[in-house]
């Protein structure tokens, strides 16, 4: 069975770049909820470059859909790496304006989705369950540290939950051959930034010591390092990649 690199929410942005770079070393599976055209194009691009890739439509916050997605992945090979990348911001809102349905959706995707995917990966990777071990990398956010006041405290809180899950799960499965880490990107030049007011975005960029936004390619390289043997003694880490902020 071939060893697979799985990326949730892999059709665009940071997830797509992770998939592109991972495909140089692994057969890649991405999951996506919408934007089938972008997922299909990514798979074709990877194949055109000589790699192997598959795209599976599945909502990470839907337990039945993800259970089915992992069953489909089982038919392709064994999971060596899972990247929990799928996420939503819930749009911009102050805490005194945020709606309960927004909170529910952000938690469903960002927290429940990450737990479900990690659960399914551990069941397959754990040496205690007959697996060969593996790596889980969670894509968190600098928002979990900075709070994202005036824009999306709700999103920041969901990423705080992901950070806690990363540390706890890492300790839980460290002796079962599984490493679990998180990358906390700062301001990255992707579609997600379009939710921010332009003036606020300019102020945020100005506050970054390196004086610029990061790129999806840079975040992908960080994830690939954590997934590689070069990080073999790294687990339970929350790696900040935010230009010095």
Q: Tens place of pLDDT for every residue, the chain, 245 residues?
A: 799 999 999 999 999 999 999 999 999 999 999 889 999 999 999 999 999 999 999 999 999 999 999 999 999 999 999 999 999 999 989 999 999 999 999 999 999 999 999 999 999 999 999 999 999 999 999 999 999 998 899 999 999 999 999 999 999 999 999 999 999 999 999 877 766 678 878 888 999 999 999 999 999 999 999 999 999 999 999 999 999 98
Which residue out of 26, 32, 155, 233 is catalytically annotated?
155
Q: Is the pTM of this model over 0.85?
A: yes
Please give the Cα distance from 224 to 74 (Å, whole number).
22
DSSP-based three-state secondary structure for 182: strand
pLDDT value at residue 196: 67
E strand or H helix that includes residue 134: strand 134-139
Query: 132 burial class (0-12, 13-18, 19+ CB within 10 angstroms)?
Result: middle
Please give the Cα distance from 14 to 219 (Å, whole number).
7
Active site (annotated) includes residue 233: no
Instruction: Give the start-to-end residue ranges of the domains of the chain.
Output: 3-236
Residue found by looking up tokens 């994830």 in the block: 223
Please give the Cα distance from 183 to 170 (Å, whole number).
14
Please give the CATH architecture assigned to the domain spanning 3-236: 3-Layer(aba) Sandwich (3.40)
């Amino acid at each position: 069975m071939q060893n697979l690199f799985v990326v949730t929410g892999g059709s665009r942005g940071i997830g797509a770049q992770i998939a592109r770079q991972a495909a140089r070393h692994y057969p890649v599976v991405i999951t996506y909820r919408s934007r089938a055209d972008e997922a299909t194009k990514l798979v074709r691009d990877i194949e055109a470059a000589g790699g192997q890739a598959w795209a599976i439509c599945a909502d990470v916050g839907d337990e039945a859909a993800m259970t089915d997605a992992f069953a489909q992945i089982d038919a392709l090979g064994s999971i060596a790496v899972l990247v929990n990348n799928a996420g939503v911001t819930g749009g911009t809102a102050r805490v005194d304006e945020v709606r309960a349905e927004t909170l529910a959706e952000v938690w469903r995707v960002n927290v429940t989705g990450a737990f479900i995917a990690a659960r399914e990966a551990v069941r397959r990777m754990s040496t205690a369950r007959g697996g060969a071990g593996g790596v889980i990398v969670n894509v968190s956010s600098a928002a979990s540290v900075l709070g994202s006041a005036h824009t999306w405290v709700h999103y920041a809180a969901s990423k705080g939950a992901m950070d806690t899950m990363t540390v706890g799960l890492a300790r839980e499965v460290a002796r079962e051959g599984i490493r679990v880490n998180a990358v906390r990107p700062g301001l990255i030049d992707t579609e997600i930034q379009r939710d921010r007011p332009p003036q606020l975005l300019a102020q945020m960029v100005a506050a970054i010591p390196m004086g610029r936004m990061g790129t999806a390619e840079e975040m992908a390289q960080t994830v690939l390092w954590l997934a590689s043997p070069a990080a073999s003694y790294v687990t339970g880490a929350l790696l900040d990649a935010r230009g010095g902020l």
